[in-house]
Chains A and B, each alone.
Chain A
Amino acid sequence: MKNNYKDTSIIKQLMRDKFTLIACIVLFVIYFSLLFADFIAPYSKDFSDRNMSYAPPSKIFTINENGKFSLPYTYTYKREFDPEAMQVDYKLDRTQKYYLKLFPRGEKYKFLGLIPCSRHLIGVAPEGRLYLLGTDINGRDVFSRILFGGRISMTIGFLALFVLFPIGLLYGGVSGYFGGKVDMLMMRFAEAVMSIPSFYLLIILAAILPSNMTSIQRFILIVVILALIGWAGFARVVRGMVLSIKTQEFVQSAQAIGASRLRIILKHILPQTTSYVIVAMTLSVPSYILAESGLSFLGLGIQQPDASWGNMLKEAQEYINILYRPWLLTPGFLIFIAVLSFNLVGDTIRDVLDPKSKVR
């Protein structure tokens, strides 16, 4: 492993591990489908059919009633109230077949946000309904909402990191480079932030957000809040690295030339921490995905009618829902798969960039 470290590219080393390869493919598929969510989803995220609240996933038939193969088709559901059990049941309405069509016309959207388009990947005639993963309480298609919700859940972690890392780097850099009283004060403050249990801080910050914000404002503020939670721990590690880097000769020579302190920190010291930063970033994406989903699950993160994987799971809080409507749990499995893949990739990136570390 060590011998051919130099002559193989990082990508190749990543791909050598079977688990990592699978994880990369999974992540690629997830992000690819999120990018083309408008096209892949049969419905938009707000499309709702009030008569179809909590409808189970559509059954798709490939063998028709005569026992012969047929093009895949589905039936719509009929709502029936069962007076004895006091509950609503969905029965298949077998009067009209709806064949699954490729590229049917549906709701209008902008392909990649630019090109107006109305074709979807898959669908049925407008009178029929295709619910691949059932519907939620408002009769909205869970499958479509998973695609749109994933856009938020899977990017919010990255965005938080892009806010957090510059803050942590600068804070740790200044603290470590200046040393002395500045260092002591800055580190005590960081320690105090770390002494508040992070999830408590998270929910409190989220709860003081005013409720009359637009969904974009809320999204941005949640990104900022997630970043506020994590910067302190990161800044401490950076400070430790800066303390050892600043004694090296190239820093002394920069000082001798008369470079400003800010320039030395930004141009000479911080670039030395790059490989640690990359490793720390890939390893902390999952924790932000989990934090966002937890927050939205509690109703403090992304709000209805917007979708995120966390707030879709909010409906699974009731026993009745989880017992009789198991399709509502799908976002949870997706969070699990995404986080697992990120962890596997992150572990391998660390092994490659930092061969000495053996945490794996």
Chain B
Amino acid sequence: MQILIYILKRILQTIPLLIVVSLISFFIIRLSPVDPLAELKLNPSISKETLQKETERLGLNKPIYVQYALWAKAFVQGDLGVCSTGESVAGKLKERIPNTLLLTALVILLTWLVGVPLGILAAISWKTPLDRMLTVLTSIGMAIPSFFFAILLLIFAVKTGWFPVGGLTSYNFNEMNLLGKIWDITHHLILPTTVLFTISLAGLQRQMRANLLDVLDSDYVKFARAKGLSEFKVLYKHALRNAINPMITLLGFEFASLLSGAALTEYVFQYPGLGRLVLEAVLKSDINLVMASLMMGAVMLVLGNLIADILLIFTDPRIRTVNSKQ
């Protein structure tokens, strides 16, 4: 019960946060000298009525705080307006967000599966050539600009022909059977995942190593060793459980940096994700789309942090006791 109340409280806390985010983004965008409907006006397939409706809806002839109120009301009701191509913004987001979530979830899963064991390996072989080698390798991973690495992989794909170049699906995707579809998507995902994986692996491995080293230095580990426990038990029963907790807090931040890193990678691979959508929207100064995708990015980020916090309740008993005392 107490845990439920804590989770509820935590969810309620995100609401003012999102309001401030929307205020910041709204004023940044509206303070720019760009006419929010310029692109829409240039599009000949957009009728005068749609334009008139958008002007009404955004309240462009009213002061800026009224505009914000109108925007916020529409947003809460789920009306995100139309983009400069005339499609609805909500539909576009619905199409793109799952793709970005698929990519980032896959990358997070892979980095955890590889990064955590590598971090443990480096920590238990501290100051040996193996540890040193892993450090140098992660430094290299951290230093490659994501878009440059993506370009290099594209050259590789074009030269060998082993991988499809760009996109998420092949042109004949709709004719494939289920297995074929799954394989097709996997095939397209390999290169973008490799780029993001290489870049985020380094940070995770280092953090895991540092946490475990810190824990291994603590008194209770020394005590466990003095007690005569096997090294295996000391490591996996005592040290590791404590070293993993800070990593869960990091999960939220990892998600944030992945969203950012994914934007450039999506751009180079022409991957139909949220990052590329924002970029295209920004380049076309499609205000409705920019505003909505900014908010979606923030919502995803806040949700990521929320999930990390909730996970932490289950893995770290200290948080449970602190909250039940309150």
Q: Do A and B bind each other?
A: yes
Shortest Cβ distance from residue A2 to the other chain B in the assembled complex, whole angstroms:
13
Docked-complex contact B146 and A294, CB < 8 angstroms: yes
Contact code string A179-202 (vs B, CB < 8 Å = 1, else 0): 000000000110111111111110
Question: How far is B260's CA from A194's CA once the two chains are assembled, in angstroms?
Answer: 12
Q: How far is the CA of A194 from the CA of B255 in the complex (A)?
A: 12
Give Cα distance in the complex from A316 to B278, angstroms: 22
A192: chain B residues at CB < 8 Å are 17, 20-21, 24
Q: Choose from A198, A200, A298 the contact partner of B293 (Cβ within 8 Å).
A: A200
Report A-chain residues with C-beta under 8 Å of the C-beta of B17.
188, 191-192, 195
Q: Which residues of A contact B115 (CB under 8 A)?
A: none
Least CB separation from B268: chain A residue: A317
Taking CB atoms, residues of chain B closer than 8 Å to A298 are 264, 267, 279
Chain A residues whose CB sits within 8 angstroms of the CB of B95 once the complex forms: none
Q: B242: CB under 8 A from chain A?
A: no
Q: Which chain B residues border A293 with CB–CB below 8 Å?
A: 145, 147
How far, in angstroms, from A217 to B213 measured CA to CA in the complex?
Answer: 47
Q: How far is the CA of A330 from the CA of B105 in the complex (A)?
A: 33
Contact A335–B148 (Cβ < 8 Å)? yes
* Size of interface on B: residues with Cβ below 8 Å to A: 60
A72 at the interface (CB under 8 A from B): no
Q: Which of A189, A316, A344 contacts B20 (CB 8 A)?
A: A189
Cβ of B139 under 8 Å from chain A: yes
B24 contact set on A, CB distance < 8 A: 192-193, 196
> Which residues of chain A have C-beta atoms less than 8 A from B214's C-beta?
358
Mark interface residues in B171-208 (1 if CB within 8 Å of A CB, else 0): 00000000000000000000000000000000000110
A28-36, A119-127, A204-212, A270-278: which one contacts chain B?
A: A204-212
Which residues from chain B contact A339 at a C-beta distance below 8 Å?
A: 142-143, 145
Which of B82-90, B151-159, B307-315 is found at the contact surface with chain A?
B151-159
Interface centre among A196, A319, A332, A340 (most CB of B within 10 A): A196
Residues of A within 8 A of B155 (CB): 322-323
Complexed CA–CA distance, A86 and B231 (Å): 69
Evaluate contact between B147 and A210: CB separation under 8 angstroms: no
Contact B206 A203 (CB under 8 A): no
- What residues on A are CB-neighbors of B259 within 8 Å? 197, 199-200
- Tell which of B56-64, B69-77, B222-230, B295-303 binds the partner: B295-303
Instruction: Tell yes or no: B33 within 8 A of A by CB.
Output: yes
Does B322 belong to the interface (CB within 8 Å)? Answer: no
Q: Using CB atoms, name the residue of chain A closest to B147.
A: A297
Q: Which residues of B contact A87 (CB under 8 A)?
A: none
A357 at the interface (CB under 8 A from B): yes
Interface flag for A245 (CB, 8 Å)? no
Chain B neighbourhood of A5, CB < 8 A: none
A360 adjacent to chain B (CB < 8 Å)? yes
Question: Which of A194, A201, A336, A347 touches B145 (beta carbons < 8 Å)?
Answer: A336
| 6 pairs from A and B in contact (CB 8 Å cutoff) | A188-B20, A199-B260, A200-B294, A297-B147, A298-B279, A339-B143
A interface residues, Cβ below 8 angstroms from B = 19, 188-189, 191-201, 203-205, 207-208, 210, 286, 290, 293-294, 297-300, 313, 316-317, 319, 322-323, 329, 332, 335-337, 339-340, 343-344, 347, 357-360
